[in-house]
Every structure is written in structure tokens, then in C-alpha cells.
């Protein structure tokens, strides 16, 4: 017997997005269904190109349709990053779907390293990504992106982000003299950040804009968080107790500002020697336990890898994803987990109507 649209839709309602814990019809991910006898063609739109579980969704759709007697299932998977409804109350950066701040309780824990690799990793998955270096105290992006000495470009009165490594990047390091410290206080930082990063920068349409915040919980990171229409924040911590206390303070700062914490990343979890042996230096797992105790998602651990430091100093972030498989696996897992958390946050965003033919 031929299948009907209704049977197909009912079968698709049994397929859950394993991460978002709702069925793909309720999530408006089923965009189009065509039925021809026992042949079914379905278009499913994922909530992010970095969807961690696309293979699971594909398998589950095929199984659900085979169960009702489909002889041939053609599944088209596409992705459209959803934007944050909460953040869009702001008229700042309207062309950006998700602004994600990366913060840390203190400097030197790898906040900029995580920001760069999140941005490049999301772009590698197919998303349009921007990176904003807001760390006025120690802008390290020019080095990490290989932009040292490369001046910012302008189009009319607007600054153009650098187009590097598949992302659009603005770094304060290309706008000021590299070796001179910037001394900014809250009110001044507010005006300067607004001008530099929002009003006067020609950002293209972006799925994600990753913002590397200044470290700590002082008035400059606080100002930047209040200014930007954030989808949420990522907290980077190293696992030892003294660093965790600072990380917990950073997480509390975001929560007080009503900025959702998308998750915690444990950096420098342990050291992987060139011979592959693992050495626990700072007390591996500490940040994961701290995330659990605060009820925050854990996005993953990044061990200490000599290659990561070398690739960062050389301004070559793609090498982190193509060289050492343990390093690339750790970074890719962090990227997927973040994309999943962003999708979860954006579930409330209205999506277009389903077309059935």
C-alpha cells in the first residue's frame, strides 16, 4: 500500500533530536516531505552545521520510515544556524545570529586559545564565523591569527574585519600599537568598544561571533558583556583549585548579568608528551567537577599539547585540526558541544512554516 503524508509525518514525530530532547517535527526541523508510493523524500534542517549528532538523526529518520514500510528514503540534510531570540532585543549587531563571549577568571588559562579554536572549528563545520578580540590588556590574536603588523583595512568610515583562516576577525592589536598597554576604565571602555566593534565595523552576516573578553571580573569585561547582545558565555578554566575559584567567580559574573553560561572548558587538563604519555599536572577533571557543582554544561577538556602552543605562536590554527588526532578530537568535541548548547538556547526562536507537497 502507498504511504501517506500523515503516516510519514507521524513516523518523523518519533525521531528525537538526541541533544535537544524534542522530536524533529516539533523542533521545525522537517522542512519538506514528498511521498511517491513507497518512496519518501525528506528535507531536514539541522540547527547548526556543527550539529554533533547528525549521523544519529539520519539513521533514526531512515529507521522510522522503513518501519512504516518505506522502500526508499532520500534524506536531504541541510543546516541553518538559529539565532538567539533573547539577544535580539538589541539593535546592536543585527546581522549576527549568535554572539558568544569567552571569559576566564584570570589571564593565562587559554581563553584566547579557546576563542580562536572555537571560531575556526565552527567555521570548519560550514558556519559563517566572526572573531572579536576584546582582550585589551593582552591582545594575542594578531599572533594567533598570523596578523602581527597587518594593519586594519577600512571601507569608507568602517573597519573591515580581516578575512583569515576562514573567519572574519577584528583585533584591537591591529588598531593600536602592539607593545603599548591600553589603560581603559569602564565608561571609556563602553564607548570605545561600541565604536570599535559594533558601530564602526563592517561585519558580514554571521552565524556566530566569538568574543574574546578581557580576563577577570573587573569593570572592563563586565562592560563588554553588558554592551553586547550575547547568546551566552563560555568560561575557560584550568583544573587546579586556585584557578577554579576564579572561574567560579567568572561564571557568577555572567549569571548575575543574566547571561546564560553555555558551558565550561577545562584547558591544560593534563600534559601529553611527544611520546603520547599523559601526565596529570594540575589535577585533571577539576573544572568538570566545578561545572557540575554549579549546574553548568561541560564542553570538554583540552590537554596541554606542545603543538597547540607552536601552532598558536605560528598563527596557524587550522594545523590544530589537521595534525595530532588527539588534539583535533578534543577541539572538535568542544566545538560540537558548544554548537549544541547554542541550539538548545535558541529553541524558542520561531522558525518558518513547514511545506508539504
* Interacting residues toward ligand ADP by CB under 6 A: 104, 107-113, 140, 215, 267-268, 302, 304-305, 308-309, 312
CB closer to ligand ADP, 41 vs 271: 271
How many Cβ atoms are within 10 Å of 346's Cβ, its own excluded?
23
CB closer to ligand ADP, 104 vs 224: 104
Residue 352 burial (C-beta neighbours within 10 Å; 0-12, 13-18, 19+): exposed
CA dihedral 145, 155, 211, 144 (to 10 degrees): 10
CB closer to ligand ADP, 126 vs 285: 285
Backbone torsion region of residue 110, taken as left when φ is above 0, otherwise alpha when ψ lies between -120 and 50, otherwise beta = left
CB closer to ligand ADP, 135 vs 207: 135
What is the grid cell recorded at 334? Answer: 568542544
Q: What's the closest the beta carbon of residue 236 comes to ligand ADP, in angstroms?
A: 6
What is the grid cell recorded at 104? Answer: 576566564
Q: How far apart (Å, rounded) are the C-alpha atoms in residues 134 and 197?
A: 9
Q: What's the closest the beta carbon of residue 117 comes to ligand ADP, in angstroms?
A: 9
Q: What is the residue whose three cell numbers read 576562514?
A: 166
Dihedral pair phi/psi, residue 217, rounded to 5°: -125, 25
Q: What's the closest the beta carbon of residue 322 comes to ligand ADP, in angstroms?
A: 17
Give the Å distances, CA to CA, from 332 to 4, 45, 160, 236, 304: 40, 21, 28, 16, 16
CB closer to ligand ADP, 134 vs 229: 134
CB closer to ligand ADP, 113 vs 231: 113
In the DSSP assignment, the letter for residue 181 is: P
Q: What's the closest the beta carbon of residue 264 comes to ligand ADP, in angstroms?
A: 14
Segment holding 74, helix H or strand E:
strand 72-79
Q: What's the closest the beta carbon of residue 183 comes to ligand ADP, in angstroms?
A: 18
Q: What's the closest the beta carbon of residue 121 comes to ligand ADP, in angstroms?
A: 14
CB closer to ligand ADP, 192 vs 281: 281
Identify any residues that bridge with 269 across adjacent strands, giving them in sequence order. Answer: none
Q: What's the closest the beta carbon of residue 40 comes to ligand ADP, in angstroms?
A: 46
Q: How many CA atoms lie within 13 A of 20 on its CB side?
A: 29
Amino acid at each position: 500500500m502507498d504511504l501517506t503524508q500523515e503516516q510519514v509525518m507521524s513516523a518523523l514525530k518519533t525521531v528525537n533530536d538526541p541533544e535537544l530532547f524534542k522530536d524533529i517535527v516539533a523542533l521545525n526541523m522537517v522542512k519538506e516531505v514528498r511521498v511517491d508510493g513507497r518512496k519518501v523524500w525528506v528535507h531536514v534542517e539541522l540547527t547548526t552545521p556543527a550539529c554533533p549528532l547528525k549521523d544519529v538523526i539520519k539513521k533514526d529518520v531512515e529507521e522510522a520510515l522503513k518501519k512504516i514500510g518505506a522502500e526508499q528514503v532520500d534524506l536531504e540534510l541541510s543546516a541553518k544556524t538559529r539565532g538567539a531570540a533573547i539577544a535580539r532585543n538589541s539593535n546592536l549587531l543585527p546581522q549576527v545570529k549568535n554572539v558568544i563571549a569567552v571569559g576566564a577568571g584570570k589571564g593565562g588559562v587559554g581563553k584566547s586559545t579557546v576563542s580562536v579554536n572555537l571560531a575556526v572549528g565552527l567555521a570548519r563545520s560550514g558556519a559563517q564565523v566572526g572573531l572579536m578580540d576584546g582582550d585589551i590588556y593582552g591582545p594575542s590574536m594578531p599572533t594567533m591569527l598570523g596578523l602581527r603588523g597587518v594593519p586594519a583595512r577600512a571601507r569608507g568610515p568602517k573597519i573591515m574585519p580581516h578575512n583569515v583562516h576562514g573567519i572574519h576577525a577584528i583585533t584591537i592589536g591591529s588598531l593600536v600599537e602592539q607593545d603599548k598597554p591600553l589603560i581603559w576604565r569602564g565608561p571609556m571602555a563602553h564607548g570605545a568598544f561600541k565604536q570599535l566593534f559594533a558601530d564602526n565595523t563592517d561585519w558580514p552576516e554571521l552565524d556566530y561571533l566569538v568574543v574574546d573578553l578581557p580576563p577577570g571580573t573587573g569593570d572592563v569585561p563586565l562592560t563588554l558583556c553588558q554592551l553586547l547582545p550575547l547568546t551566552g558565555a563560555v568560561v575557560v578554566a584550568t583544573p587546579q583549585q586556585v584557578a577554579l575559584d576564579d572561574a567560579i567567580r567568572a561564571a557568577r559574573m555572567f549569571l548575575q548579568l543574566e547571561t546564560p553560561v553555555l558551558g565550561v572548558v577545562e584547558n591544560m587538563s593534563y600534559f601529553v608528551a611527544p611520546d603520547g604519555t599523559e601526565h596529570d599536572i594540575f589535577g585533571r577533571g577539576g573544572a568538570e567537577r566545578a561545572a557540575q557543582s554549579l549546574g553548568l554544561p561541560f564542553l570538554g577538556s583540552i590537554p596541554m599539547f606542545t603543538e597547540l602552543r607552536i601552532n598558536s605562536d605560528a598563527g596557524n590554527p587550522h594545523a590544530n585540526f589537521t595534525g595530532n588526532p588527539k588534539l583535533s578530537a578534543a577541539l572538535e568535541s568542544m566545538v560540537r558541544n558548544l554548537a549544541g548548547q547554542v541550539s538548545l538556547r535558541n529553541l524558542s526562536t520561531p522558525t518558518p512554516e513547514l511545506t508539504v507537497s
